[in-house]
Structure 1
């Protein structure tokens, strides 16, 4: 773990004042990857610092002990959506938000729908799916019902034409790819029904299309490498 040091200086790039930042966490985290995709899309200079959850404020930058968190010239920021909004506010001439106020609201609706009604209930399965904890089918049955409910809500707003909110890539696409891929992997690992495809039939095609985006392709490659490294450690 490298030292955080003091405040980071501003960096002049292309005639604009840009702030280099450091992203703390691990590519195994879908919320980390959501922020990482935003950094790439907004063309922000950043470095990644491997950091596992559990360390507490003020030593490591997150009062909750969760990841990701971001070190900026202004201080530390935690919670992925707060980080994304900070990056938007401090990045001139680049944005992954739609232009109009209503479209921005729709983008944020999609993010919250996915995170509150699909990813949050699915998270109860992650210990068994990813970390070797005991599996309980009755818990999975409850989670599947909640996910299906969330998918019905998402289906009333999502367009997938070709991006989740319409013609243009937004932060909602970063959130949807990271979270829905994670949920899908968890269900597959536990041999549960593919309620994602059942709830939104064109979702698989959308997730494949998302991989054509260089930022998502990079996040996916880094995620695969992180799992490979972890599996090697557990089997050695």
Structure 2
């Protein structure tokens, strides 16, 4: 059986978890935090998520894990069969990660621990987010999913990317991203209204206290 190593408060962990649940793949969830001996044993970078396959291979990086699941378990595909369409899905995934999630992530210390940040950095992050949002508006159809009538890996990616980006933008940048992306609100409601999303969200909430204790412990080292 596959083992998913990570923690339910992590949006990247939840991307892979959602894909596993969508495909109906049996797996064990090993809750472990970054840079701990347990995580380093399965991923030399010490990051979540990581995965141990049924054959014992250890893998990391969420996009690699989602691609592996698609290759190893092609039932209930998360990518289109057409090569061009598959590339479009991966393009949206990469834009979501590099130009929406990663710039927003830079402000997580400010959000979680009230670490001050210079206006110059805020403006830089806002600029990168703007480019990402403009790209998303150009490439995504929201009809009702990002690339059309079928849910793909891009939808799963964006759902958990936006969970961080919206929280940071609202609380640190005082910026409601839903007003910048036409169709995002209806799409978000659609994505949230599934048994899989509700389970992932409930597990995330249940893990919040333990994760915050882990973060607090880092500050004492």
Q: TM-score, normalised by structure 2?
A: 0.88
Alignment of 1:76 onto 2:46: no
Distance 1:189 1:229 in 2: 22
Conservation of the 8 A alpha-carbon contact between 2:39 and 2:46: no
| Equivalences for residues 1-236 of structure 1 within 5 A | 20-55=1-36, 59-74=40-55, 75-190=57-172, 192-194=174-176, 196-230=177-211
Q: CA deviation at 1:146?
A: 1.1
**Retained in 1: the 8 A contact 2:9–2:211?**
no
Which of structures 1 and 2 has the bigger CA Rg? 1
Matched residues, number: 215
Higher helix share: 2
- Kept in 1, the 8 Å contact 2:93–2:158? The answer is yes
Structure with more contact order per residue of length (Cα contacts < 8 Å, sep ≥ 6): 2
C-alpha contact 2:2 2:54 (8 A) present in aligned 1: yes
What are the Cα deviations for residues 138-166 of structure 1, in whole angstroms up to 9, with x where unaligned? 42222112101110011111010111111
Which consecutive residues of structure 1, in runs of 5 or more, have no partner in the other structure?
1-19
> What is the Cα deviation at residue 181 of structure 1?
1.7
Query: Unaligned 5+ residue runs, structure 2?
Result: 217-221
Query: 1:57 deviation in Å?
Result: 9.1
TM-score by length of 1: 0.83
Residues 192-215 of structure 1: per-residue CA shift (max 9 Å, x gap): 211x22321321221111112322
* CA contact 2:39–2:47 (8 Å) conserved in 1: no
SS of the residue aligned with 2:160? helix
Distance of 2:188 and 2:86 partners within structure 1: 22
